[in-house]
Amino acid sequence: MKKQCVKLQDIASVHCTNKGIEQKLKDSIFLQIEDIQEKKYVYSILYVISWIHQQYPTLQIENMGETDFILSYMPKQNKKMWIQYGKIALVSGILAVGSAFSIMTFNEDVSVKAVFSQMEEWVLGQGVKGFGVLEMGYAFGLPIGICVFFNHFSKRAARQDPTPLQVEMRIYENEVNTAMIENASRKGKQIDVG
């Protein structure tokens, strides 16, 4: 089983007047993860300071950040390239059709019904009376597209740029992390100075 090494520089910024010690600390292996599944580790900064003092007992250390933190491990997933190219082609097609539809509705003064009638006339040679296939696809596709776009059904977000929904989710995530740290501390499961 391959071990995943987490160096001190992966979890903290290290600055020291002695550049040799600083580089050795940055390259020191803080944790070796042997699990093959996702896992979260809750650490106290006092544990990190104690860990550094085991190597350099006389070093004076000042913490300039959080007193507790969560280290999340997610194993690398092997994704096939043809799947990635397929996703790119699908998204490109959706963007092309969506852009064309947006431009057409803008030119028709946001009259979706008029655009659908014109498209049906181009394809079928005559307009459809009443409720057509395009209207049905639009009625079901719009809410499904919104749910997929905002990742309501995925395990984790596909991108990291903050949208308004993600800002609210980050606030929620911070509250969950705070609760996890407090619960781990209460139950004695936090990795702290022994």
Residue 1 is predicted with a pLDDT of 43
Which of 139, 166, 170 shows the shortest CA–CA distance to 151? 166
Residue 166 pLDDT > 90, yes or no?
Answer: no
User: Please, which pLDDT band fits residue 73 given cuts at 50, 70 and 90?
Assistant: confident
Angle at 66 between CA 64 and CA 69, to 5 degrees: 135
Do the Cβ atoms of 68 and 190 come closer than 8 Å? yes
Strand partners for 4: 33
Query: What is the pLDDT at residue 86?
Result: 92
Q: What is the mean pLDDT of residues 104-130?
A: 74
Between β-strands 68-73 and 39-44, what pairing exists: parallel, antiparallel or unpaired?
Answer: antiparallel
Q: H or E element: which one contains 84?
A: helix 81-107
- Residue range of the domain that includes 105: 81-170
Q: Is residue 181 part of a domain?
A: no
* Residue 131 forms part of a structural domain: yes
Distance separating alpha carbons of residues 47 and 55, to the nearest angstrom: 13
Q: How far apart are CA 75 and CA 73, in angstroms?
A: 6
Is residue 106 assigned to a domain? Answer: yes
The per-residue pLDDT for 160 is 44
Which of 26, 44, 77 terminates a domain? The answer is: 77
The pLDDT of residue 69: 87
Please report which confidence band the pLDDT of residue 133 belongs to, taking 50, 70 and 90 as the band edges. confident
Among the residue ranges 37-41, 88-92, 96-100, 170-174, the one predicted with the least confidence is: 37-41
